[in-house]
Structure 1
Amino acid sequence: MARRNNLMIFILTIGVFGILNTEMGVIGILPSLADHYHVSVSQAGLLVSLFALGVAISGPILPLLFSGMDRKKVMLLVLGVFLIGNIMSIFTTNFTIALIARVVPAFFHPIYCSLAFSVAASSVRKEDAAKAVSKVFIGVSAGMVVGVPIVSFIANAASIEMAMAFFAVINAVVFLVTFLFVPTMPVKEKLSYGAQLRVLKKSKTWLSIAAVIFLNAAVFGVYSYLAEYLETVTNMSPNMISFMLFVYGGANIIGNMVAGKLLAHSAMKSVIAFPFVLGGVYLILFFAGEITLPMAIMTFIWGIVAGIGGNINQFWMASSAPEAPDFANGLFLTSCNIGTTVGAAAGGLFISGMGAKYVVLVGILSLILGLATILLRYYRHDPSEQLSD
């Protein structure tokens, strides 16, 4: 049983990597895609922004609608939709078709990811749930920060078509192993849509949504401009910047490994400590960001803390509505996308108005707001139970 569960969690991790890589991998090749489709770079950016918008819209809706279906069948459906979209992207040179091939799968993205978190958590003992989810989050981190340079390398070394084929191959492999090795998983206790939607009546849910938005804005409001910060503030070379992006990505994966243990042993303390730790990292970046060695060290530490933060966000949202796990994970994905969008927009405003160095203030302000919502939920909802962590 343990071996089967480990295999299933591994498959879910690779599946999440394939889906997140499809979403984020094109970031590093947008100029090449603009040339390929004969559009401007800003138009090519729609391949990213419309995908994120699709995820944000469908996040609380489609996981709810599919929550009563056999989980294996739903996973195969989502992987099949992504595979078809990937194949269309390989062969089309029409930008409109390329947009459709990305936006349609985007609506199915939250279904697979929310199921992956729920299935991983339910496949082990309750006390090991956080560790299981943290393993799936390795796929999330790898898809978001490691997939970008991999896809960029393939596009430069071979072609845009081969880079797109990389997305297709990953999703095809996951589809096959899911079909062969994942058992059927019918939902034993189907919750009505109304029962799941009732979690939106709880202030605890809305405080958790707000916290996830602010904490994700705190991370991606600064990370989105890491390359800009390293170039203009630290004065690193392009090759060194590429290396530091790899360092951040690797550290992010390490953070996921650490997060499972932290949340399993001391969940509430970890949640409350996170804004303080990341805030400390940002203060050091602000005051020592112009010096190469401290900046390199702090980028590594920042990556670890950010990796932990993703797990904390998922735990915080899921723990607010344990009676509707799939719906809660859908809300988590929507909240994360809203936070990323708001944080990146705010970071751009701070850079244009004050300079790249001051982008860290977006992170610090977001952390203050996130901490406020965390403490408000903590003191209003079951403090004695949470203190036992």
Structure 2
Amino acid sequence: MDFRVFLLAVSAITVGLVELVVGGILPVVADDLNVSIATAGQLITVFALVYAIAGPVLLSLTAKVERKKLYLIALGVFFIGNVLTYFSPSFGLMMAARVLTAASAALVIVLSLTITARLVEPKYRAKALGYIYMGISSSLVLGVPIGIVVTNAFGWRSVFLGIAILTIGSILLIAKFLETIPTGEVQPLSAQIKALANKKIFFAHLATMFMLAGHYTVYAYFTPFLETTMQLSPYWISVFYFLFGLAAVGGGAFGGGLASRLGSKKSILVILGAFAVSLFALPYSTFSIPLFIVFMMVWGALSWALAPAQQDYIITSDPVSSDIHQSFNNSALQVGIALGSGVGGMVFSQTGSVTSMPAVGGGIVIIAFISAVISLSMSAERSRSHQEQTTSG
């Protein structure tokens, strides 16, 4: 695999750490900034919303900027955002810094995906994208425990100082090893917005969104699920999170490899179907810790396995608008995270129980499966139509 892909994956890890790292240290942050935990929680919500919107918008506004230069600028802004977070004396300034880091992180991630797609040959594209998503998933999954450990040792502000230092390393590596990358074919903003009218890819975005929504319906409340169903202590819960994280980190690479072997279209259906089954089966494995660990790690691996195949499918379906669609798909992922967390909260408040969440999550993933089937059927129909026109011509 091209060495530059791994550099882009490292950058994805660096910027990905900043999103959910606040989740594990909310009480400490809230106490230091003299706000409630609920108010401090808005640091996560606002980040996700800005991230989802900023990716497509910034990609459109910077369409004519050479890609390496733009990547370095985005990393520079991300560095400034983390330094501001470190020195923030108030909640308001920290919120402003989070907006800055969210917007720049969204651009770095989508550029990592689009640049990777250009660096490698089409037959290796899904696998290469898998490495980028392995970086994204590892940062999202491991960011919380890393934040807790660093905060306990050095204080919560040092978390963001550490991310700023890592960002400097990414800037130096990208500046040295990544060559100048032209913008390619540039579409006007109006044409890029109209790209959403492509129903085939629109349903692909829905598949991404609903899969992540189904996942976070359960994952956002995984701690109370483990406490309620298996009576696990905090120590064992942290162990389970670590095992889940290991599986999730490998999920991106697994999904990329599967797409390379089976093709992106078959992989999308296989992964979504297996993911729904894993969620439905999860509550029935709690009677045995070893069995539950197996089911949990399958669930964890599949949770990030869809992305490489989905991105490859989007690129091949609409090559001209692939950059903007990769950004939209990344935004759909963020919306899915927010939607799933909200649905999980509603289920918990209505039922007072976490045991029904896997079934609800599995049901949402079925919607994702149906969305994928609709998208793929449109793809097959267009292919047949093109063949008929070629034959008749």
Tell me which of 128, 132, 137 is aligned to 2:128.
Answer: 132
Match of 1:241 in 2: 237
Aligned-partner Cα distance in 2 for 1:203–1:359:
30
Tell me which of 319, 329, 333 is aligned to 1:332.
Answer: 329
Aligned-partner Cα distance in 2 for 1:153–1:129:
36
Q: Aligned-pair distance for 1:291?
A: 3.6
Deviation track 1:96-129 (CA, whole Å, cap 9, x = no partner) reads 1111111122123222111111111111111110
Structure 2: any 5+ residue segments left out of the alignment?
A: 385-393
Q: Aligned-pair distance for 1:209?
A: 1.9
**Is the Cα–Cα contact under 8 Å of residues 279 and 358 in structure 2 kept in the other structure?**
yes
Tell me which of 362, 380, 383 is aligned to 1:382.
Answer: 380
Q: Which deviates more, 135-144 or 175-184?
A: 175-184
Matched residues, number:
382
Matched, 1:19 2:18: no
Q: Aligned-pair distance for 1:179?
A: 1.8
Match of 1:97 in 2: 93
**Is the Cα–Cα contact under 8 Å of residues 82 and 101 in structure 2 kept in the other structure?**
no
Match of 1:371 in 2: 369
From the superposition, tell whether residues 305 and 169 of structure 1 become closer, same or farther in structure 2 (CA, over 3 Å).
same
Aligned-partner Cα distance in 1 for 2:201–2:298:
30
**Is the Cα–Cα contact under 8 Å of residues 68 and 187 in structure 1 kept in the other structure?**
yes
Match of 2:306 in 1: 309
Deviation track 1:47-76 (CA, whole Å, cap 9, x = no partner) reads 111010101222321112212211111111
Match of 1:34 in 2: 30
Tell me which of 35, 45, 48 is aligned to 1:49.
Answer: 45
**Is the Cα–Cα contact under 8 Å of residues 21 and 147 in structure 1 kept in the other structure?**
yes
1:152-301 equivalent positions in 2, closer than 5 A = 152-266=148-262, 267-301=264-298
**3-state SS of paired residue (2:187):** coil
Match of 1:359 in 2: 357
**3-state SS of paired residue (2:305):** helix
Q: Which one-letter code corresponds to 2:354 in the other structure? A: A
Q: Aligned-pair distance for 1:193?
A: 2.8
**Is the Cα–Cα contact under 8 Å of residues 33 and 44 in structure 1 kept in the other structure?**
yes
TM-score normalised by the chain length of structure 1: 0.93
Give identity over the alignment, percent: 27
**Is the Cα–Cα contact under 8 Å of residues 11 and 177 in structure 1 kept in the other structure?**
yes
Q: Aligned-pair distance for 1:250?
A: 0.7
Structure 1: any 5+ residue segments left out of the alignment?
A: none
Aligned-partner Cα distance in 2 for 1:126–1:14:
22
Q: Which one-letter code corresponds to 1:192 in the other structure? A: P
From the superposition, tell whether residues 289 and 311 of structure 1 become closer, same or farther in structure 2 (CA, over 3 Å).
farther
RMSD: 1.8
Matched, 1:9 2:5: yes
Q: Which deviates more, 290-299 or 265-274?
A: 290-299
**3-state SS of paired residue (2:232):** coil
Q: Aligned-pair distance for 1:344?
A: 1.1
Aligned-partner Cα distance in 2 for 1:142–1:193:
33
**Is the Cα–Cα contact under 8 Å of residues 16 and 140 in structure 1 kept in the other structure?**
yes
Q: Which deviates more, 59-68 or 130-139?
A: 59-68
